[in-house]
Amino acid sequence: MFYLGYMCVLMSRSLEANEKKDWLSLSLIPGLGPVTFWNLINNLGSPTEVLDASATVLLQMPGVKPSLVEALAQKSLIDEVAEAEMIRLHELDAHLITAHDSAYPELLRRTVAPPPVLFVRGRKDLLNRPSVAIVGSRAATSYGRRTAFNLASNLAAKQVIVVSGLATGIDAEAHAGCLAGGGDTIAVLGCGLDIVYPRSNQDLYHQVIEQGVLVSEYALGTKPDGFRFPARNRIIAGLSHGVVVVEAARKSGSLITVQYALEEGREVFAVPGQIDSAKSSGSHWLLQQGATLIVSADDIIDNLPLHLGEFQHQDAPTRSQPAELDDDSLALLKLLDSYPIRRDELLERSGMKSAKISEMLLLLELEGLIELLPGDELRRV
């Protein structure tokens, strides 16, 4: 009896492995996009049946071109490529999740044309947790970077997963803020899991593997070609209950993410910036079109049906208190605002000597109370 039961388990696992390999094989066919993939599945039933179908049957399917039928005819070659990919994934300690798996993110599964397979590295259990995307400019201002970091840190403290694209600027700050807040983050790549892009985010890439999860719809070794990133953005939107735009120009990848979010019925939020900042022109346009204005993580949570349930709410980590300031330093700090001011103007307003002001500004900067900007300007944080 035990032997029969054991053999049944082995056969079940073998069938499951073959089914998963067929999902991968079909997804790796050159020129087969998600829309045509799902059209074939809806008509024929499963990847296995698609791979076994005759050319005559395939050519009767809408949207199927002769070149695709020729590619599908190379079944043995396709299987070899898929098997090699599975071995490489195992060596990388990465996983393949098909749209048929229970681990596949449910929010993404409900989108119009979800990726048939996902390649993941890290904690795949995070893919079905309450999540919010934070996106924005690669060439972000210090205001944008700081805002993204703080929003992500506070969302993390509320046990909300932060999703972004691991790009420079706002994306990187969103991931870093979430990790600094003790939370979990999902990074969606526009390349293979084994490629670190951009190279400047190498440390962050490894942090996400340890404390979050990397996700890609692309096979290992896929280069970060520019056309892949708009497609990547649909996954960012699809994984998230809502999308927050921190800082974005009028024509930017962030607004492509917003378009995907709107098509899937997701809530869109925007952070206001300075009215004369080109970096915030896209954010302001979204606000004019009806996006929800937010200034804190609570604004996001209050407007989304996140159903945090068993996830315990907690306060965001607080910064250590700054050292006590003397009267002169406090007086100087009161002269500063969040809008930049030139150093010579501050010198004139304060009536203090230049050497004294330089000493106090250094102290205030070290305490994180002010920020020195290009052009000999400074501002209060």
Provide the CA 318 distance to its chain's centre, in angstroms: 25
CATH number for position 28: 1.10.150
User: CB of 257 within 8 A of CB of 243?
Assistant: yes
Do 280 and 241 sit in the same domain of this protein?
A: yes
Same domain, 46 and 158: no
Query: Among 244, 267, 302, where does a domain finish?
Result: 302
Choose one of 91, 115, 144: the last residue of a domain.
Answer: 91
In this structure, is residue 365 part of a structural domain?
yes
Asked, for residue 7, whether it belongs to a domain, the answer is no
Instruction: Tell me if 3 is assigned to some domain.
Output: no
CA 375 from chain center: how many Å? Answer: 33
Predicted TM-score (pTM) of this structure: 0.81
Interval 148-188: pLDDT, tens: 999 999 999 999 999 999 999 999 999 999 999 999 999 99
Task: Assign residue 150 the CATH number of its domain.
Answer: 3.40.50.450
Q: Can you give the residue range of the structural domain that contains 55?
A: 12-91
Q: For residue 371, is it within any domain?
A: yes
My answer on whether 164 and 218 are in the same domain is: yes
In a domain, 172, yes or no: yes
The residues that bridge with 188 in the sheet, in sequence order, are 215
C-alpha distances in Å from residue 301, one per residue of 155, 179, 260: 8, 19, 21
**What CATH number is attached to the domain comprising 345?**
1.10.10.10
List the chain residues with pLDDT less than 70: 1-15, 307-323, 339
131 plus 196 within the same structural domain: yes
297 and 349 assigned to the same domain: no
Q: Are residues 256 and 130 in the same domain?
A: yes
Is 107 a member of any domain?
no
| Residue 186, in any domain of the structure | yes
pLDDT of residue 63: 81
Is 274 found in the same domain as 341? no
Confidence at residue 369, expressed as pLDDT on a 0 to 100 scale: 84
pLDDT of residue 308: 62
- Note the pLDDT of residue 4: 38
Same domain? For 165 and 49 the reply is no
Are 256 and 346 found together in one domain? no
pLDDT of residue 317: 41
Instruction: Indicate whether 96 belongs to any domain.
Output: no
Structural domain ending residue among the three candidates 267, 302, 337: 302
Nearest-angstrom CA–CA distance, 98 and 178: 27
| Three-class DSSP labels, the chain | CHHHHHHHHHHHHHHHHHHHHHHHHHHCCCCCCHHHHHHHHHHHCCHHHHHHCCHHHHHCCCCCCHHHHHHHCCHHHHHHHHHHHHHHHHHCCCEEEECCCCCCCHHHHCCCCCCCEEEEEECHHHHHCCEEEEECCCCCCHHHHHHHHHHHHHHHHCCCEEEECCCCCHHHHHHHHHHHCCCCEEEECCCCCCCCCCHHHHHHHHHHHHHCEEEECCCCCCCCCCCHHHHHHHHHHHCCCEEEECCCCCCCHHHHHHHHHHHCCCEEEECCCCCCCHHHHHHHHHHHCCCEECCCHHHHHHCCCCCCCCCCCCCCCCCCCCCCCCHHHHHHHHCCCCCCEEHHHHHHHHCCCHHHHHHHHHHHHHCCCEEEECCCEEEEC
Provide the domain count of the chain.
3
CA distance 220 to 214: 12
Say whether both 296 and 338 belong to one domain.
no
Q: What is the pLDDT of residue 332?
A: 83
**Do 129 and 264 fall within a single domain?**
yes
Same domain? 230 vs 183: yes
